[in-house]
Structure 1
Amino acid sequence: MNRTSARAAAVALCAGGALLLSSGTASAHVTAKVIGETATQGGYTKITFRVPNEDDANGTVKLEIKLPQDTPLVSLRTKPVPGWTAKVTKGPLDTPVTVHGNEIKEAVLSVTWTADSGVRIAPGEFGEFEVSGGPMPETEQLVIPAIQTYEGGKVVAWDAPPTDGAEPERPAPVVQLAAKDSEDGGHGHGSGGTDSAGGATNTANDSDGGHAEAAGTDTTARWLGGIGLAVGALGLGIGVGATLRARRLTKA
C-alpha cells in the first residue's frame, strides 16, 4: 500500500513539474497585452509589452518595437519607466495609406527603450513597457515585431508572424483588435430611456426579470458549490481512512 501511494505521488509530481516547465517555455517570450479594456479598430488604447529575461547570465538592456507600415499608428506616447529612456521615432511611410478618409504619409515607425547605466532586467526577472496611442488600424490584429538586446551585445528578434499551425520559435507580439462598435457605441442596451414616441420605456419588467435570473443563477451556483464541498469531503475521508489502514498494517 505504501509503495503504491509513493509511486502515485511521484508520478503526480513529475507530471506537474513537466506541465510547469512546458508552460514556462511556451510563455517565455516578448508579448503585447491590452489590460483592462478592449482594443477596438479606430479607437485609442494602451498596450503593455511584457519582456522576460531568458539569459541565465546577462540582463536585458534594450527593447525596440517596430510598428507596421501597412497598418500604421499616427500617434503614440510612452509611459515613463524608472531607469529607462524611451524614444519614439516617426517618419514617412513607404506607401501612404488612408485612415478614416485621411491620407497618412507619416506615422510611428518604432519605439526604443534603453536602460540607463547600471539598470537592467536581470536573469529570472521581467519588465513591462507601456505605450498609448491610435487610432488603431482597421485590421483584426496588429503585429508588432520586437528586438530584445542583452548585456554583451546578444540580440534576439521576436519577429515571426502568427501562423494557423504551431507557434513559431520566436513569435512577434500581437494585439487583437475588435470591430468598431455600433453607432450607439454599445450604450443603452438593457437600460431605461424614452421610446420613439417620447414616452418612458417600461424598465420594471426588465428589472424584475434580471433579478429573477440572477437569483436563479445564484441558487444554481450554491447547489453546485455544496455538491463540490460534499465530494471534496468524501475524497478527504477516503484518503484519511486509507492512511489509517496503512499505518495499522505497518504496525501489525
Structure 2
Amino acid sequence: MEKNQVRSARRFAVVGAVAVSGVLLCAGPAAAHVSVDPEEAEQGGYAVVNFKVPNERDDASTEKLEVHLPTDHPLASAMPQPVPGWKVEVTKEKLDKPLESHGEKITEAVSKITWTGGEIKPGEFQQFPVSLGQLPEDTDELVFKALQTYDSDEVVRWIEEPEEGAEEPETPAPVLKLAADDAAEGGAGSPAKAGETEAASAESSADGGADTAARVLGVAGIVLGAAGVGFGVLAGRRGRVGQ
C-alpha cells in the first residue's frame, strides 16, 4: 500500500512539473517586450525609470533603441543615465505651449532619446535608465512609444497603446502609470482615512467588549469556585458533627 502511494505521489509530481513548464513556456513570449520599470510613479513628482529591452531573436542582436516621449504631456526634464557601450542622443522640440517648472518657463522638451553603438545579444536584455520630471498631474499614464532595431535591419515598433479591459496588443508600447500622492489621498478629512478611523474604532470597541466579558466571566468563576470550596468545608464539618 505504501509503495502504491509513493508511486502515485511521484506521478503527480511529474505531471505537475510538466504542467508548470508548459505554462511558463506559453507565458514567456507574451512577456518579452520593451517595458518600463517601475510601472508606476507619483503624479507631480520625479522618477528614475528603466526601459527594459529584451532580445527576442535567436539569430540577430539589438543594436538600436528609440524611445519617443509623449507630446500630449511633455516633460520638463528627461535625462538619460550613461550605459556602458552605448551612445545616447537626446532630441528636443519646441513646445506650442510653454511649461512652468520651479518658477521658470520651459519652451522646449525632450521628444526622443536614441541609444546606438551597443549590442544586446540573443538571450540577453539591457536596461536604459532615464530620470523623468516633473511628471504631470492631469493624467493617469504616460505612453512611451519605442522602436527596437536589430542588426538584421528588422525594426520592431512597440507603439500599440493598451486599452483597459482589452487583450494586450502584440507590440504594446511601454506605459508608466501615474498615481495620486498617497499623502494627499490619506489626509485626515479623506473618506479613506475616515473609513480607517471607523474601522479602528469598531475594532477597539470589539476588543474592549471582549475584554470586559472575559473579566466578568473570570470574576464569576472565582466566586463560584470560592462558593464550592465553602460548601465543601461546611459539608465536611457537618459530617464530623454527625459522627
Partner of 1:179: 180
Partner of 1:92: 94
Partner of 2:119: 120
Hey, which of these two has a bigger chunk of strand by percent? 2
TM-score, normalization by structure 2: 0.66
Report the Cα offset of residue 81 of structure 1.
Answer: 0.6
Q: Which amino acid aligns with 1:174?
A: V
Q: C-alpha separation between the residues in 2 aligned to 1:70 and 1:8? A: 54
Q: C-alpha separation between the residues in 2 aligned to 1:121 and 1:10? A: 36
Q: Which amino acid aligns with 1:70?
A: D
Q: C-alpha separation between the residues in 2 aligned to 1:166 and 1:85? A: 35
Partner of 1:80: 82
Q: Which amino acid aligns with 2:16?
A: A
Which one of the candidate residues 102, 109, 112 is aligned to 1:110?
A: 112
Tell which deviates more after alignment, 71-80 or 20-29: 20-29
Question: What are structure 1's unaligned runs of at least 5 residues?
Answer: 188-208, 210-252
Which one of the candidate residues 25, 28, 46 is aligned to 1:44?
A: 46
Report the Cα offset of residue 177 of structure 1.
Answer: 1.2
Q: C-alpha separation between the residues in 1 aligned to 2:181 and 2:98? A: 19
Q: C-alpha separation between the residues in 2 aligned to 1:5 and 1:43? A: 53
Kindly report which structure 2 residues correspond to 1:124-203, keeping only aligned pairs within 5 A, or say none.
124-138=123-137, 139-164=139-164, 165-180=166-181, 182=183
Report the Cα offset of residue 70 of structure 1.
Answer: 0.6
Kindly report which structure 2 residues correspond to 1:4-23, keeping only aligned pairs within 5 A, or say none.
4-5=8-9, 7-23=11-27
Question: What are structure 2's unaligned runs of at least 5 residues?
Answer: 188-203, 205-243
Determine helix, strand or coil for the equivalent of 1:71. Answer: coil
Report the Cα offset of residue 10 of structure 1.
Answer: 3.5
Q: C-alpha separation between the residues in 1 aligned to 2:145 and 2:113? A: 11
Question: Which one has the largest radius of gyration?
Answer: 2
Hey, which of these two has a bigger chunk of helix by percent? 2
Q: Per-residue displacement from partner, 1:60-118 (whole Å, max 9, x unpaired)?
A: 0111100111111121111111100011110123x426557987542110000002xxx
Q: C-alpha separation between the residues in 1 aligned to 2:80 and 2:186? A: 29
Report the Cα offset of residue 179 of structure 1.
Answer: 1.4
Alignment of 1:34 with 2:33, yes or no, is no
Q: C-alpha separation between the residues in 2 aligned to 1:125 and 1:107? A: 32
Asked whether the 8 Å contact 2:98–2:108 carries over to 1, the reply is no
Q: Which amino acid aligns with 1:30?
A: V
Asked whether the 8 Å contact 1:70–1:97 carries over to 2, the reply is no
Determine helix, strand or coil for the equivalent of 1:43. Answer: coil
Report the Cα offset of residue 3 of structure 1.
Answer: 6.5
Q: Which amino acid aligns with 2:136?
A: P
Determine helix, strand or coil for the equivalent of 1:106. Answer: strand
Give the paired residue count: 182
What root-mean-square deviation, in Å, do the aligned CA atoms of Structure 1 and Structure 2 show?
2.9
Q: Which amino acid aligns with 1:126?
A: F
